[in-house]
């Protein structure tokens, strides 16, 4: 009997479990349709969700409906803006709700959501993007039942982000890492809602940041009166970072906005309250900190928050004769006085003002004082401030647990007063800025995250009525030393508005290493071992007239460097830069830019009397354009125009990308042919030239280069009385294709040619033309392949000389024959003599002609190889 009962119970449990898994499949489509109807009936926006899933197990004994990826996109005037994006939404309801008729509303008991975003925007016309409720639907709503009823008893939000931006007032707020939950019966008109909240808040007003990831914790009981839309703070515990605050009062929704009547204060007066304001990441544990004196925050907010008004408020922050000392640190911060008020007496936001009447503290013997007033905060903030005192930066980490990779050192002194308005700062209206006093820093040492160090021995800034004068700045970093003076034109714009730092500066240096001043970009991941790309700082917009005894750039050492540098928009423009290098001088005009993904450059170079051996060895670019290092000694004058990409990590030219042209002139040159495989091969193929004796003095050449290919415009070289014209191309990969056209006098082309010329008369010999010979050079510079047409040229010359000899002998024979006839004719036979001769005379002419012709045609036809003189 017991076994039977157990079997029945087991079967029922199995059936129950099966039902829990299978029933949802019968109701998912109905629930999905009701959710879609509920949204479409209420919302004028583009709404989508990827899927709906029903589970009876996830929140048993309640049913749970999950919406995946719910997104609400605004229509005009916020077309395309995301209003809501929810990774997951869970709706809890009684299981009995599933069995309701499709025309009956389903009651929702609880809501939870994860990984969401709510993005609230007010445009310049004061219209909010959250107003997406359908208009003119009252009649339709009255005749049709609601698909969903909200009878919420609990809700929960996890990992949310809330963004708020008002284009009119330029208020920007972000609540990040928001977690919030509440329990209460919303079915009642009055209820107590028990809430728990954590978040990180950032707040910007115009372009000034007032809060940055300030941690907020609030556990509160809210008395909610739904009928009157009134929310009262009852029991609450709030922490701003670690500063405790207690709230009292209410917020009520009214027709024109929200009515506030709130009071708040620190529940205790210990100075630990002040340390608690500082984010925990910078303040460490407060448990064992010894403090004296007090710190209090007291305030209220009362009035209407609407499109045109804010509640009147008054916040007082005060501390008198306080001190603190962390247990593991040697120094004490003492004589702390804080007297600050934030007040609005009219309900108009722009009338808010801040009075920092006094801020003072002391470490050892160093005392620092500050005071400031800020007014007109939303329209054009006016700041009136004064700083006076000394801070030993080394004592900061000895008195307060600041987490630094490298300890600070240096003495900061200030005695400055300033008054300005933010509009003048933004528009660079320096005449409206009133400054006075000085600020100095000495003995400062700093190391950045990349290990680069900066040591400032002296920095002195003088604040004049309308400008900031950098009177002295002496520093060293890496291998470099710099001394800078100048005028900062936009100091406040840089500090307060994140604008460019403008100025005109003069710099002197004994030695500058260029890579000491290059910042690292974010183009590679931290775990990537490859070097990061160098970047020209984007915040700089200045002119620098510089002089340096030595500049180190890549593998080059430049001496006596001077010129003008204009830095703007991640670009450095060089004007009239001059330097001594390679035994001569180089003038540079051009620009380098790192704004794009790949850094680029364009340069005009003027080389004067530079040593060929040094420049063509140390500059890869010249080595590729003209591989003559070690072969040609002497000096070079040249103008070079080029552009291309730079290596992002080393800031050297990427030779595969450079394009340009070069005009060059060689001076006082000699040739080391033994160092060149090409010249050695050329000498073995062309005997009539000794390449080591070629005179290249005053040689001028024009070269263009692009895509790794160099084109040499034909130019002439003289060797004794031989003229050579050279032209062609070669690649940066050392491949080549050149032609050398020689205009060679016949005397260099062999002994037989010279023997033939010797038999000519001086007048005839002078008429023998020079013979063109072409040499073709292919392959590469280390393994050249050389061919010439010298054999065919010699054969042609020989034929020419033989024909000239033949013509001369024929003429000689004809002349001798005429002389013989005229000598033997009779006086009476004049006419006959001109037409006929006696048989004896004819035989003698034939004999003489044969002798002369035999002398020409019986010569050897072989032509010897030309020999050099």
What digits encode the pLDDT tens for the residues 278-297? Answer: 766 656 667 788 989 999 99
Residue range 808-864, pLDDT digits in tens:
666 665 665 566 556 655 555 544 444 444 455 445 444 544 443 343 334 333 434
Q: Which of 258-262, 451-455, 540-544, 702-706 has the lowest mean pLDDT?
A: 451-455
- Distance between CA atoms of residues 615 and 637, nearest Å: 12
Please list, residue by residue across 718-740, b when 16 or more beta carbons sit within 10 angstroms of its beta carbon and e when fewer do: ebeebbbebebebebeeebebeb
Tokens representing residue 254 in the block: 């009214």
Q: Is the pLDDT of residue 358 over 50?
A: yes
Region of poorest pLDDT, from 255-264, 350-359, 717-726, 742-751: 742-751
Summarize the confidence of residues 78-85 as an average pLDDT: 85
Lowest mean pLDDT among 54-68, 401-415, 555-569, 617-631: 54-68
108's CB contacts (< 8 A; 6+ apart) are: 91, 92, 93, 148, 149, 150, 151, 152
DSSP 147: S
Residues contacting residue 814 through CB under 8 Å, at least 6 positions apart: none
Mean pLDDT, rounded, for 69-95 = 82
pLDDT > 70: what percent of the chain? 77
Separation between Cα atoms, residue 825 and residue 840, nearest integer Å = 12
For CA atoms 551, 556, 557, 561, the dihedral sign is negative
Q: Does residue 672 have a pLDDT over 90?
A: no
Predicted confidence at residue 186, as pLDDT, reads 75
Could you tell me the two tokens for 258? 């929200």
Give me the mean pLDDT over the 349-375 stretch.
94
Model pTM score: 0.63
Which segment of 144-153, 284-293, 489-498 scores lowest on mean pLDDT? 144-153
**Backbone φ and ψ of 769, nearest 5°:** -80, 155
Tokens 């939404």, residue? 89
| Number of Cβ within a 10 Å radius of residue 530 | 10
Mind listing the pLDDT tens digit for each residue in 751-799?
666 676 676 667 666 666 677 888 899 988 888 898 888 777 777 767 7
pLDDT number for residue 179 = 92
Rg of the chain taking only CA atoms, in angstroms: 48
CA–CA gap between residue 658 and residue 625 (Å, rounded): 11
Mean pLDDT of the chain: 79
- 176-201 average pLDDT score: 87
**Bridge-based pairing state of the strands 51-55 and 62-73:** antiparallel
Please tell me the least confidently modeled range out of 184-198, 564-578, 591-605, 681-695. Answer: 681-695
Compute the average pLDDT of residues 674-687.
81
Residue 749 has pLDDT above 70, yes or no: no
Lowest-confidence region among 167-181, 288-302, 412-426, 837-851:
837-851
pLDDT band at residue 49 using 50, 70 and 90 as cut-offs = confident
What integer pLDDT is reported at residue 34 of this predicted model? 59
The CA distance from 560 to 241, in Å, is 56
How far is Cα 821 from Cα 830, in angstroms, rounded to an integer? 11
| Top-confidence residue, 283 or 377 | 377
Residue ranges in 360-421 assigned as alpha helix (H):
393-399
Q: What are phi and psi of 820, to 5 degrees?
A: -65, -40
pLDDT for 643 equals 93
What band does 504 get if pLDDT is binned at 50, 70 and 90?
Answer: very high
Q: Which two tokens stand for residue 78?
A: 């916020």
């Amino acid at each position: 009997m017991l076994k039977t009962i157990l079997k029945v119970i087991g079967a029922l449990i199995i059936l129950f479990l099966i039902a829990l898994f299978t029933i949802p499949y019968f109701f998912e489509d109905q629930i999905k349709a009701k959710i879609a109807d509920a949204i479409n009936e209420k919302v004028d926006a583009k709404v989508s969700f990827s899927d709906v899933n029903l589970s009876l197990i996830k929140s048993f004994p309640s049913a749970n409906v999950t919406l995946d990826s719910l997104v609400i996109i605004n229509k005009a005037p916020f077309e395309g803006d995301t209003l809501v994006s929810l990774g997951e939404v869970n709706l809890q309801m009684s299981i009995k709700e599933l069995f309701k008729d499709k025309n009956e509303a389903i009651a929702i008991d609880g809501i939870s959501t994860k990984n969401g975003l709510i993005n609230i925007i007010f445009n310049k016309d004061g219209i909010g993007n959250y107003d997406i409720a359908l208009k003119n639907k009252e009649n339709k709503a009255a005749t049709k039942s609601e698909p969903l009823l909200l009878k919420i008893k609990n809700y929960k939000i996890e990992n949310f982000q809330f963004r708020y931006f008002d284009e009119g007032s330029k208020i920007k707020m972000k609540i990040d890492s928001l977690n919030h939950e509440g329990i209460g019966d919303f079915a009642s008109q009055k209820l107590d809602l028990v809430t728990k909240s954590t978040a990180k808040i950032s707040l910007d007003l115009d372009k000034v940041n007032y809060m940055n990831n300030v941690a907020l914790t609030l556990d509160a009981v809210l008395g909610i009166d739904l009928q009157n839309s009134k929310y009262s703070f009852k029991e609450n515990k709030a922490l701003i970072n670690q500063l405790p605050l207690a709230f009292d009062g209410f917020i009520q929704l009214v027709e024109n906005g929200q009515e506030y009547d709130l009071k708040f204060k620190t529940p205790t007066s210990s100075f630990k309250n002040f340390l608690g304001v500082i984010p925990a990441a910078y303040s460490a544990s407060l448990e064992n900190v010894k403090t004296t004196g007090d710190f209090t925050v007291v305030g209220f907010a009362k009035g209407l928050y609407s499109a045109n008004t804010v509640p009147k408020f008054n916040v007082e922050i005060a501390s008198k004769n306080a001190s603190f000392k962390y247990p593991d640190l040697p120094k004490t911060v003492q004589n702390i006085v804080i007297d600050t008020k934030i007040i609005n007496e009219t309900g108009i936001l722009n009338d808010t003002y801040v009075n920092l009447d006094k801020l003072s503290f002391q470490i050892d013997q160093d005392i620092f004082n500050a005071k400031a007033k800020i007014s007109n905060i939303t329209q054009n903030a006016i700041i009136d401030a004064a700083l006076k005192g000394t801070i030993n930066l080394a004592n900061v980490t000895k008195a307060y647990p600041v987490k630094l990779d490298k300890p600070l050192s240096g003495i900061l002194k200030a005695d400055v007063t300033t008054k300005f308005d933010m509009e003048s700062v933004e528009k660079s209206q320096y005449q409206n800025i009133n400054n006075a006093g000085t600020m100095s820093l000495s003995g400062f040492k700093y190391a950045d995250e990349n290990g680069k160090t900066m040591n400032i021995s002296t920095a002195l800034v003088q604040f004049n009525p309308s400008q900031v004068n950098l009177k002295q700045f002496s520093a060293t970093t890496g291998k470099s030393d710099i001394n800078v003076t100048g005028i900062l034109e936009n100091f406040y714009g840089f500090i307060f508005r994140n604008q460019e730092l403008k100025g005109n500066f003069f710099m002197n240096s004994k030695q500058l290493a260029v890579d000491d001043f290059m910042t690292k970009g974010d183009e590679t991941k931290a775990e990537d071992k490859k070097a990061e790309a160098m970047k020209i700082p984007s915040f700089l917009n200045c002119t620098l007239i510089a002089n340096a005894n030595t500049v180190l750039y890549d593998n080059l050492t430049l001496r006596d460097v001077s010129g003008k540098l204009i830095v703007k928009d991640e670009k450095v423009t060089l004007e009239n830069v001059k330097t001594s290098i390679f035994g001569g001088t180089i003038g540079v005009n051009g620009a380098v830019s790192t704004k794009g993904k790949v850094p680029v450059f364009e340069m005009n170079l003027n080389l004067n009397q530079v040593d060929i051996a040094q420049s063509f060895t140390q500059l890869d670019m010249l080595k590729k354009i003209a591989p003559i290092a070690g072969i040609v000694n002497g000096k070079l004058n040249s103008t070079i125009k080029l552009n291309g990409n730079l290596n992002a990590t080393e800031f050297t030219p990427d030779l595969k990308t450079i394009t340009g042209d070069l005009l060059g002139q060689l001076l006082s040159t000699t040739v080391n042919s033994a160092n060149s495989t090409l010249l050695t091969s050329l000498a073995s193929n062309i005997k009539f030239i000794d390449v080591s004796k070629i005179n290249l003095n005053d040689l001028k050449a024009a070269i263009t280069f692009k895509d790794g290919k160099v084109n040499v415009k034909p130019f002439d070289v003289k060797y004794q009385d031989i003229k050579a014209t050279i032209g062609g191309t070669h690649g940066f990969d050392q491949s080549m294709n050149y032609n050398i056209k020689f205009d060679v006098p016949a005397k260099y082309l062999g002994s037989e040619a010279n023997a033939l010329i010797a038999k000519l008369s001086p007048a005839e010999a002078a008429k023998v033309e020079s013979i063109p010979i072409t040499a073709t050079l292919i392959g590469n510079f280390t393994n050249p392949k050389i061919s010439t047409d010298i054999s065919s040229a010699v054969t042609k010359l020989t034929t020419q000389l033989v024909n000239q000899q033949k013509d001369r002998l024929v003429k000689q024979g004809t002349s001798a024959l005429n002389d013989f006839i005229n000598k033997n004719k009779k006086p009476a036979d004049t006419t006959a003599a001109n037409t006929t001769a006696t048989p004896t005379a004819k035989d003698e002419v034939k004999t003489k002609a044969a002798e002369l012709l035999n002398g020409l045609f019986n010569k050897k036809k072989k032509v010897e190889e030309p020999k050099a003189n």
